[in-house]
Structure 1
Amino acid sequence: MSPFTGEAAGVRPPEPVLRAQVRLETAEATQAWAGRLAQLLRGGDVLILTGELGSGKTTFTQGLGAGLQVREGIISPTFVLSRIHPTVRAAQDPRAVDLVHVDAYRLGSAGELLDLDLDATVDRSVTVVEWGRGMAEELAGWPEDPEASWLDIELVRAVGAAPGAVPAEGEGASSGIITDFSEDEDGTDEIRSAVLTAYGPRWAGVELP
């Protein structure tokens, strides 16, 4: 099942080129995986990040920022809608890109998202849009651009799952899913997974970490 939903749902959703699930046992594991994913990213990449309050979206983005080597201090952009975290790599480094972190929770349309002037930075930055399904796809160029590519990442865990269990593909934020980074009664982190769906030729054939 495609996770694609939202305003653009009236247009036939694109077919994913890649699906993957990654088990994330702790917040530290989430940051480490995001850091490895960052090594695959380049300017122009758009990541749509989904997960309920406390699911680890900011934790993920902090790991991504560390992997991209941007300036420290990544926090939720909820009250300012978007933040730019500049790279600390040398200017001559061809892999040096800024990180743009956006919270679209309070936005009602793709037009409102584009009104943030993200198109001015998207080509030279990695852009992470929380709560961006149905909106941020247009930031990546879909549906006008047949080469439009983006990653959809959802952080989830299953209620009552056996130790080590990973949610089934497509479960997402459906009923019965809790996505906070609280600890079990025995003091250990509960198992989460990142459900990743990739769209567009940019990600065709790419091996994920």
Structure 2
Amino acid sequence: MEALGRRIGESLVAGDLIVLTGALGAGKTTLTRGIGAGLGVRGPVQSPTFVIARTHPSLVSGPALIHVDAYRLGSAAELDDLDLDVDGSVVIVEWGQGMVDGLRDHWWEIEIERPTGEDVGGVADDDLDGDTTRHIRITSHP
């Protein structure tokens, strides 16, 4: 996930908005860590669960990365109230499905599916390692 994120990050520019969807443990933050590495931002990139949004400035004169965890936000209005610099930064929103329509005219959604224990013969989810194959779907929205 991190290597994929790095490749994605190398192609992003200021104004790009990405929504990440997937279950807990699917790899959203790991993907974002790779995107941050590809952008060349200051780390560490970690889950912004308790701060809701964290800005990582560029170390290479590129755009900053704003990493948002919208899980505890109740609406798109609450996301808009964060007053994010969506034009001058790359913005990644975890759990942002249905919340970003008003932020940009165009945005990307990356859906990450990770098999559960039920999918692989009843193995406990905690016993699945980080190398478990993920399925990625990238969708462009108007």
State the TM-score, normalizing by the size of structure 1. Answer: 0.61
The residue that corresponds to 1:51 in the other structure is 22
- Listed one character per residue, the Cα deviations across residues 6-63 of structure 1 (whole Å, up to 9, x for unaligned) are xxxxxxxxxxxxxxxxxxxxxxxx1111111112211001000111222111100000
Question: What pairs up with 1:111-122 in 2 under 5 angstroms?
Answer: 111-118=77-84, 121-122=85-86
- Give the partner amino acid of 2:128: S
3-state SS of paired residue (2:38): helix
Q: Per-residue CA shift, 1:69-125, capped at 9, x if unaligned?
A: 0002111000000000000014xxxxx10000000001111001101111xx11010
CA distance in 1, matches of 2:127, 2:106: 30
In structure 1, distance between residues paired with 2:101 and 2:109: 9
User: Counterpart in 1 of 2:137?
Assistant: 195
Aligned residue for 2:74? 108
- Equivalent residue letter for 1:99: L
Structure whose CA Rg is larger: 1
Distance 1:180 1:105, change over 3 A: farther
Q: Which runs of 5+ in 2 are unaligned?
A: none
Distance 1:65 1:137 in 2: 23
Distance 1:47 1:34 in 2: 12
User: Does residue 139 of structure 1 match 2:126?
Assistant: no
**Deviation digits for residues 131-172 of structure 1 (CA, Å, limit 9, x no counterpart):** 1011112211xxxxxxx11110111134536xxxxxxxxxxx
Change (3 A) 1:180 1:57: farther
CA contact (8 A) 1:43 1:126 kept: yes
Greater relative contact order: 1 or 2 (C-alpha under 8 angstroms, separation 6 or more)?
A: 1
Shift >4 Å, 4+ stretches: none
The separation in 2 between residues aligned to 1:114 and 1:49, in whole angstroms, is 17
Identity %: 49
Letter in 1 for 2:93: V
Q: Say whether residues 1:130 and 2:74 are aligned partners.
A: no
Is residue 182 from structure 1 mapped to residue 128 from structure 2 by the alignment?
A: yes
**Residue 108 of structure 2, aligned match among 132, 137, 151:** 151
Q: How many residues align?
A: 138
Tell me the distance in 1 between the aligned counterparts of 2:28 and 2:91: 14
TM-score using structure 2 length: 0.88
Name the CA distance, whole Å, in 2 between partners of 1:109 and 1:135. 6
Q: Can you list the C-alpha shifts for 1:186-209, whole angstroms capped at 9, x where unaligned?
A: xx8321111111123xxxxxxxxx
